[in-house]
Structure 1
Amino acid sequence: MEGDVRYDDVRYDSEVVDAVERPLVVGADGSPGSLPALDWAAAEAARRGLPLRIVCASLFERYEAGLPSAGGEELPERVLAEHVAAAAGQRVRQAAPGLDVHAEVVPAEPVDALVEESRRASLLVTGSSGRGAVRELLLGSVSLSVAGRAHCPVVVVRGTEENVRGSGRRVVVGVGREEEAPAAVEFAVAAAQLRGCEVEAVRAWRSPQQQADPLVVLDQAARAYAEQAAALLEDALRGPLERYPGVTVRRTVVEGPAHKALVRLSAGAALLVVGATRRHGLRGLQLGRVSHRALHHAPCPVAVVPHE
């Protein structure tokens, strides 16, 4: 077990690596919030037939207060990180004996380490919260920053135990901006095929005017908005459904804010998928209102699929 833990200054070139060779990467810091992420990542790696790479960033105490201790004394960060990585590797091997697992200690800040890992990962998985004060937030600072900067799809594992176990029979995907929708829909349909479940594709639209009486029939302009939303939804689904013809898709066109609709409709889902646009040269969080709201409030794991 300990032979798999290495303390290397890991750097990766930015060249494209064949997707088949890319591991599924999960961040581990020993916090309670990281354990469901570790379990989810192991199950997903087995489902996809990918090796699992467990990454522990050794400088995580700079982000969050309060390090675990032994005998009343603080453990050196290297020893602590190696312990976390080794324990995470052991947990996965016990749960999934046949899985190819490697636990790595990387001497870097958590966000920097995981964003760098995302350059060569097929999928990056994090927990929804971390240690200390961060646990009081809706979403941990590391998870939010990684979801807003990563180069590959990121899954933030949150929600009920049933959702985290993947018991939900739907993958919900928000079909939003034209440039973001293809990657998000493709990811959602592929995820549904792996799970043997259906996709619920959601496109929200806003009425051009508020109706005083909810029973009033939509006027012509509102009908046009709804029809346009349905057409955009159909366009986004066409390509993925040709590539994954066996997947059942439920089309949902709903009036109102997209972020509220997705949080509501993802109750009981195995996964909620949203898109995010990455713009070259920008270093801050690149998350829209919909993905930001989903990461904070969705009742199930959330996949953020970037489009550059």
Structure 2
Amino acid sequence: MAIPLVVGIDGSEPSLEAVDWAADEAVRHSVPLHLVHAAAGDREPSDVISAASKRARERAPTVQLSSEVLHEDAAAALVDKGRNAFALVLGSRGLGDLAEMLLGAVTLAVAARADCPVVVVRGAAEHHDGRLGNIVVCVEEGEGSDTALQFASLEAHVRSCRPRAVHAWNPSSRALTTRPAPSWYAMEAHRRPPSQVLDDALRGLAERYRDARVSSRVIEGPARRALLDATSEADLLVVGARRRHGHPGLINHALLHHAPCPVAVVPQIGPT
């Protein structure tokens, strides 16, 4: 039996938008859809599950659908479900006056700990239905981009489009004042040009998947701004989960809160 795509729901409209996105994704990949509600607050769990299930059935009537209510912390419940999931899908914010702050806590906790890709459904409706035909994947220095590239290639394949790999670098990191030593990244960029970083990452993908076809682009400037600009007309942004001390990293944190399209945070294989 195929492992399911898991959606965290709380009864809010953004979580129902996540159900829509996940239902479409389940159709693309021919996987079951599983709705999870960690019961908290004053809304009836049965109402939350009923509304989300109805939405999923209307969106994807052929997809195998299941649901459950868990009486535990939302982040812990989702991380646990992610141990046997194709991906975890969350809305861009939850219920209440502190919705965005609370979502940030749950989302960052899940992104930092989940064993599977975590997709946060952000942006306007035109970025949700796959009509733009544009998957952007962030390639970083080091080995952390392999699984992100693999996930982006799979997403592009089921959407019949070509992924676009972007590597951003900031030349200002080389600038020296009176006598400071250059940064590690500046020294690496001197020895290994940014275009080589991108070429090496894509070579590894081609060796693993011979039919992989990826366009690429090196952008000069801060990574956050480069990625936000590159995704202005994207269906999905894929980034690697470069975790440090239980956090998904400053760049990923910013993208999860400001990207104009859904963001997939893909964990690395092996130790981080």
**TM-score under structure 1 length normalisation:** 0.77
Please state how far the C-alpha of 1:231 moved relative to its aligned partner.
1.0
CA distance in 1, matches of 2:160, 2:191: 30
State, as a whole percentage, how many aligned pairs show the same letter: 46
Compared with structure 1, are the counterparts of its residues 136 and 205 closer, same or farther at alpha carbon in structure 2 (3 Å cutoff)? closer
Are positions 1:289 and 2:255 aligned together? no
Matching of residue 31 in structure 1 with residue 31 in structure 2: no
Whole-Å separation in 1 of the counterparts to 2:213 and 2:134 = 10
Superposed CA offset, 1:160-192 (max 9, x none): 100012222211111014131111111111111
Q: Computing the radius of gyration over CA atoms, which structure comes out larger, 1 or 2? A: 1
Match for residue 97 of structure 1?
61
- Structure 1 distance, partners of 2:242, 2:58, is 38
Kindly state the Cα deviation for residue 139 of structure 1 after the two structures are TM-superposed: 5.2
Q: Distance in 2 between matches of 1:264 and 1:143?
A: 23
Alignment correspondent of 1:131: 95
Amino acid in structure 1 at the alignment position of 2:45: A
8 Å CA contact 1:189–1:241 kept in 2: the answer is no
Tell me, which stretches of 5 or more residues in structure 2 are unaligned? 177-185
Counterpart check, 1:274 vs 2:239: yes
Number of the residue aligned with 2:267: 306
Tell me the CA shift for residue 234 of structure 1: 1.1
Q: Write the distance in 2 (CA, Å) between the matches of 1:144 and 1:123.
A: 15
User: RMSD in angstroms over aligned alpha carbons?
Assistant: 2.3
Give the Å deviation of 1:239.
3.0
Structure 1 unaligned spans of 5+: 1-19, 62-66, 69-79, 211-220
CA contact 2:206–2:212 (8 Å) conserved in 1: yes
Residue 158 of structure 1: CA displacement?
0.3
Between 270-279 and 41-50, report the one with greater CA deviation.
270-279
- Counterpart in 1 of 2:26? 45
The 1:227/1:278 distance shift into structure 2, 3 A limit, reads closer
Write the distance in 2 (CA, Å) between the matches of 1:262 and 1:227.
Answer: 21
Q: 1:129–1:101: structure 2 CA closer, same or farther, 3 Å change rule? A: same
Corresponding position: 1:158 with 2:122:
yes
**Distance (whole Å) between structure 2 residues aligned to residue 136 and residue 51 of structure 1:** 29
Deviation at 1:22, TM superposition (A): 1.6
Q: 1 CA distance for matches of 2:88 and 2:142?
A: 24
User: Offset of 1:82 from its aligned partner?
Assistant: 2.1
Classify 1:242/1:170 alpha carbon distance in 2 versus 1 (closer, same or farther; 3 Å): farther
Q: Output aligned runs, 1:175-194, within 5 Å.
A: 175-194=139-158
**CA displacement, residues 15-64 of structure 1 (integer Å, 9 cap, x when unaligned):** xxxxx7321100111011101100000110111110111101113x2xxx
Q: CA deviation at 1:94?
A: 1.8
Aligned to 2:195: 230
1:177–1:118 CA distance, 2 compared to 1 (3 A): farther
Matches within 5 A, 1:58-137: 58-59=39-40, 61=41, 67-68=42-43, 80-137=44-101
